[in-house]
A and B are shown apart, each in its own frame.
Chain A
Amino acid sequence: MTGPEPDDAPERTPLYALHVELGARMVPFAGYALPVQYPMGVLKEHLHTRSHAGLFDVSHMGQILLRPKDDMAALSLGLERMMPVDVAGLPEGRQRYGLFTDDAGGVLDDLMFANRGDHMLVVVNAACKAADLTHMEQALAPVAQVEAVTDRALLALQGPQAEDVLSALVSRVMAMRFMDVIAVDTVFGALWISRSGYTGEDGFEISLPDRSADAFARMLLAHDAVAPIGLGARDSLRLEAGLCLYGHDLDTGTTPAEAALGWAIPKVRRTGGARAGGFPGADVILPQLDARAPRLRVGLLPEGRAPMREGVALFDRAEGGDAIGHITSGGFGPSVGVPVAMGYVPAALSAAHTELWGEVRGKRLPVAVAPLPFHPTTYKR
């Protein structure tokens, strides 16, 4: 997510009127007018999501259907030529995290893809969706029809009470595990539900027809447990959960190995695996996974109370020397009660508890490498 498009007035999601009615402060984000916060404020919205349930409008994200021209196996292998992940082994009704890479091993976008039996559903970052569409249309032309979904909203319901709230409408969600996907017909139309999200909490992402999004959101918000949550808290929640934000922690200048996303790349696609390589940048990425990337994304805990934000230069000494890396996401972590950050450092300085310094307003302040996530995740495995 790289920010607003420069030219056009921001687009509105189907929940625009509801956001305004709820008193949201609207900001342009990736070409859309979206709520950065509601009157509750970022801090309380964050804590409410961790203790109860938060409703997020993520309709700006790209939903794309891939329909096989021949069979699902050919489509899966087509996707494996674009991503270093295991697509062919993804069972029906399951979703996985994926990454489009380029020939230099950089990351074009990160995404979720789901096997929905006779087709795939891909959800991509808003700022990348036009490029992703073109990229897929070209790369998958022999094996799939690529169809942008333009008439559906996407909501996320996150937090420990998300299951209680959603199961009142769709009892089947109680049986879902993390990264399961289902489709279910309701009075709101067909809901495409996945048990996933980007907060570190248990929860669901729900795709539904534009025309019923407002009524559906109001029904969820009628529960005492559910509060509307803006982009501000979405950012602090994902940061505490150690999750990358594309355009900040992840871009074409970072490889999946550097970004510490090796967990997404299974043995079968690595050196010596049955379907090793065969994706863009494999000659860069696989050797980095075999040995060690020259630099790595790490968690960073400032020792003082001053937040260290994106762009803060990191040093290996309190005075002198050149910057050894920089922070790519940083702020205050409301659930951990202290500032938290992520950034890139040389592999030799990436061990937990390594003492570094971040330069804030011309002063070098101590910051320690820390394990991720900062706040434990509560996915229902």
Chain B
Amino acid sequence: MRYTENHEWLRVEGDLVVVGITEHAATQLGDVVFVELPEVETMVASGDEVVVIESVKAASDISAPVDGEIVEINEKLVATPALVNDDPTGDAWFFKLKIDDMSVLDGFMSEDEYNEMIG
């Protein structure tokens, strides 16, 4: 698993990268009540805002961590946004990205480095 500075986790699944948010991020957000997902087959660039998350407190978003194509989205989150709080690193993945070069993931933090960042 790799981690971004924006509290996303990235998991390699074959030739896809699965993206979710960390437990720390889910706790900070509070109870999630709304999730808006991107369309599948969308080409995204690193930094594009692709997911909107609304908690009881505020709105936030998830950016694409790398360039790629959205090939799958987790529709369960639309019907059950609370899944983001219940299982942030498991069932509550947001989207799967197809990317050309898996080596770009090496530039992201390891679990130890991420834990150090959040203190």
Interface residues of A (CB under 8 A from B): 36-37, 41-44, 46, 232, 236, 305-307, 309, 331-332, 334, 339, 361
Q: Would you call the interface of chain A mostly helix, strand, loop, or mixed?
A: mixed
* A307:B57 contact, CB within 8 angstroms: no
Residues of chain B lying within 8 A (CB to CB) of residue A46: 56
B38 to chain A, nearest CB (A): 13
Closest 10 CB pairs of A and B: A43-B31, A332-B33, A42-B56, A305-B34, A307-B54, A306-B34, A332-B56, A41-B31, A42-B30, A43-B56
A272 CA to B78 CA in the complex, in Å? 55
A42 CA to B36 CA in the complex, in Å? 21
Q: Which residue of A has the minimal Cβ distance to B33?
A: A332
* B56:A331 contact, CB within 8 angstroms: yes
Q: Which residue of A has the minimal Cβ distance to B79?
A: A305
Q: Which chain B residues in 28-55 approach chain A with CB under 8 Å?
A: 30-31, 33-34, 36, 52, 54
* A332:B30 contact, CB within 8 angstroms: no
Contact-residue bracket for chain B: 10 to 19
Known: A41-B30, A42-B30, A361-B52. A232 touches B57 (CB 8 A): yes
- Asked if B104 is at the interface of the complex by the 8 Å CB criterion, the answer is no
A44 CA to B30 CA in the complex, in Å? 11
* B56:A232 contact, CB within 8 angstroms: yes
Q: Which chain B residues in 47-94 approach chain A with CB under 8 Å?
A: 52, 54, 56-59, 78, 81
Residues of chain B lying within 8 A (CB to CB) of residue A41: 30-31, 56
A300 to chain B, nearest CB (A): 16
Residues of chain A lying within 8 A (CB to CB) of residue B59: 307, 309
Residue among B31, B34, B52, B81 with most chain A CB within 10 A: B31
Residue among A37, A332, A339, A361 with most chain B CB within 10 A: A332
Q: Which residue of B has the minimal Cβ distance to A332?
A: B33
A149 to chain B, nearest CB (A): 32
* A332:B54 contact, CB within 8 angstroms: yes
B31 to chain A, nearest CB (A): 4
Residues of chain B lying within 8 A (CB to CB) of residue A334: 56
Residues of chain A lying within 8 A (CB to CB) of residue B56: 41-43, 46, 232, 236, 331-332, 334
**20 A/B residue pairs, CB under 8 Å, sorted by A:** A36-B57, A37-B30, A41-B30, A41-B31, A42-B30, A42-B31, A42-B57, A43-B30, A43-B33, A232-B30, A232-B56, A232-B57, A305-B33, A305-B34, A307-B33, A331-B56, A332-B33, A332-B34, A332-B54, A332-B56
